[in-house]
Structure 1
Amino acid sequence: MKEFIQSLPKVELHLHLEGTLEPELMFELAKRNHIDIPFNSIAEVRGAYSFHNLQSFLDIYFQGANVLINEQDFFDLTWAYLLRCQDDNVLHTEVFFDPQTHTERGISFETVINGIHRALVQGTTELGISSKLIMCFLRHLDEESAFKTLQQAQRHQDKIVAVGLDSSEIGHPPAKFERVFKQAINLGFLTVAHAGEEGEASNISEALNLLKISRIDHGVRCSEDEELVKQLVRERIPLTVCPLSNIKLKVFDSMEQHNIVDLLRRGVCVTINSDDPAYFGGYMVNNFLAVVNAHPINKAEIAQFTFNAIEASFVNKHEKERLRKVTQRYLNLYQ
């Protein structure tokens, strides 16, 4: 099973680039940019990655991002992630970035996006990994900041396919950004949003109704609302689920309690993703293995996570068909 998962074609739809900052790179960039960090060793950094909720993670996440200063830093961060994709046979990835994390501390929007975009383009040409870029608004900041960030993104619509919503869910409901998302849609951006991770199932419904989003990031709390689950199945609304993240942030006490396999068997378009893998203990293969080790599941069901991700992706129908064929050929080897 491990061999099957290792070589299984994969598509990742929920990945925060800033969340791929491994301790080794954090130290390297801190030294390069003369930034003081509150850690003396890589082991000390890893020891700090013990979280009791989303906010305790965000506190250290934003602290780590302080070492990202120059365009080359953002290139190096993105390139390191793409090499992980190559190791895990991720054929296509749709990555999040949080420009406000950087513009709030004086780093220009252009510095951030140019470094990321240059790496993604190189990833396509040199590694054969296709990608899309999604800009997220930080929901703990105000609407005015989101509108300003959207304005900056307009100059880069050739690089950004969609906008999203992340950061602290509690106390920051989707309604707070209804007007921002309406304008983003009018400008031609696709839309996604984090909902139903720490927040209640009602946040999922609100995000769908008010933000008009294409897919739900996380969404595991949907199980609390039977009618919502039926809607997700009926309308094929994707959930980009992050199993290891959900355990690390105490959304579930154990992987055995996770509802991802149950949702899959009920016909929900659930996908497996790694979220912030440097902080949560693993990239795509690790997340697949964590689910498989905790739940009796067959190879066709495992491959369905990839088929769902292809369906939920923002690539065109011809590329979706190509990815489906690649995945089906692989599955046929094991049937």
Structure 2
Amino acid sequence: MSPIPKAELHLHIEGTLEPELAFALAERNGVDLPYASRDDLRAAYSFSGLQSFLDLYYSLMAVLRTEDDFADLAHAYLARAREQGVRHAEIFFDPQAHTARGVPLDTVINGLGRALDTAPETYGITTRLIMCFLRDESAESALETFESARPHLHRIAGVGLDSAEVGNPPSAFREVYARARAAGLKCVAHAGEEGPPSYVWEALDVLGVDRVDHGVRSLEDAALVARLVADQVPLTVCPLSNVRLRVYDRLADHPLRLMLDAGLLVTVNSDDPAYFGGYVDDNFTAVRDALGLDEETLRTLARNSFQAAFLDEPTRQAYLAEVDAHRA
């Protein structure tokens, strides 16, 4: 039985770094990892919250040094994504996390781009690349990063905002988002995961986002829910991530069904699948089992993913037809 065709819209490429590839790249680049084995590293994938995850996430990036490393990382994700039924992927990357280590921005984008250029033919997957700013770095750093990326904007479809949410409101990044919109880029931002519903309002009204990443805490604000429903603003929800980062204790407590029932345009995604226990179809299967979702609801989630994607209309309709033709 093949997985239902879907788009993945919330995927950090650095978060697809599996222990096997981390050790291989460490050996290739002469990097010493503080783990005796792959099993020891996997044992470290137990998090008390977002910050404990981020600490490991950033430390493991030390193995990513060359264009080949970034290309290999993207190829590994695309191969897994194909097995998970992904037909279109909109992939986040964190340039500041690499330039801060002395890795040139050109190296990151060119390496990822090499792999993504092959994706339609090799994997049957169309892609978009979204450059994220680290919200726990300064707004000035985000502006410098954006300006440094201008020569590469032909490869970049949009900008995003990620990393530690609490205490780092979206409104601080007003200027860089204005520049991105002026350059014709799409805009997304993480908001309403650990941060309050007010961050979602800021993402909408200050940053002018086209999509909200996570957004699960929007349910705490009825007026916000009404706004999101009226405007059909997509939310890129990541269920397994939410549980691993202690946003919810159990998947059975996840509000995905409530969000769908409220009329929100919800999509299901994997976030950082190497760390959170599953790729995107694993998330589909997990919410099906934990929340008792029927096949028609899963089909709705798959359709939502293409409705929310940054696609031209003929491509969108072709993918939607694939969803409608799929049989479980």
Q: How does 1:274-285 map to 2 (within 5 A)?
A: 274-285=270-281
Q: Which runs of 5+ in 1 are unaligned?
A: none
| Counterpart in the other structure of 1:135 | 131
CA–CA distance in structure 1, aligned partners of residues 85 and 116 of structure 2: 16
What secondary structure sits across from 1:43 in the alignment?
A: helix
Q: How far apart in 1 are the matches of 2:322 and 2:76?
A: 25
Equivalent-residue separation in structure 2 for 1:107 and 1:173 (angstroms)? 27
Within 5 Å, give how 1:281-296 maps onto structure 2.
Answer: 281-296=277-292
Equivalent residues in 2 for 1:1-335, closer than 5 Å: 3=1, 6-330=2-326, 333=327
In the alignment, residue 200 of structure 1 is paired with which amino acid?
P
Contact 2:192-2:199 at 8 Å conserved across structures: yes
CA distance in 2, matches of 1:285, 1:238: 19
SS at match of 2:209: coil
1:155 to partner: Cα distance: 0.7
Shift of 1:13: 0.1
Shift of 1:202: 0.9
CA drift at 1:7: 1.9
Asked whether the equivalents of residues 158 and 185 of structure 2 are also in contact (C-alpha less than 8 Å), the reply is: yes
Deviations 1:284-313 (A, max 9, x none): 121011101111221111111111111110
Separation in 2 of the partners of 1:160 and 1:316? 16
- Kindly provide the amino acid, as one letter, of the partner of residue 52 in structure 1: S
- Per-residue Cα deviation, 1:130-169 (whole angstroms, up to 9, x for no partner): 0000000001100111011101221111100000000000
Poorly superposed stretches of 4+, deviation over 4 Å: none
CA RMSD in angstroms comes to 0.8
* 3-state SS of 1:7 partner: coil
What code does the residue aligned with 2:317 have?
A: E
**TM-score scaled by length of structure 2:** 0.99
Q: CA deviation at 1:105?
A: 0.8
Q: Secondary structure at the match of 2:153?
A: coil
Amino acid at match of 2:54: L
For the Cα contact (< 8 Å) 2:88–2:127, is it kept in 1?
yes
Aligned residue type for 1:302:
L
CA distance in 1, matches of 2:3, 2:249: 29
Q: Which amino acid aligns with 1:43?
A: D
Structure 1 distance, partners of 2:65, 2:44, is 23
Paired AA for residue 41 in structure 2: V
Partner amino acid, structure 2, of 1:115? G
TM-score by length of 1: 0.97
Q: Which runs of 5+ in 2 are unaligned?
A: none
- Displacement of 1:188 after TM fit? 1.4
User: Match of 1:136, SS?
Assistant: strand
Rounded Cα–Cα distance in structure 1 between residues aligned with 2:120 and 2:74: 12
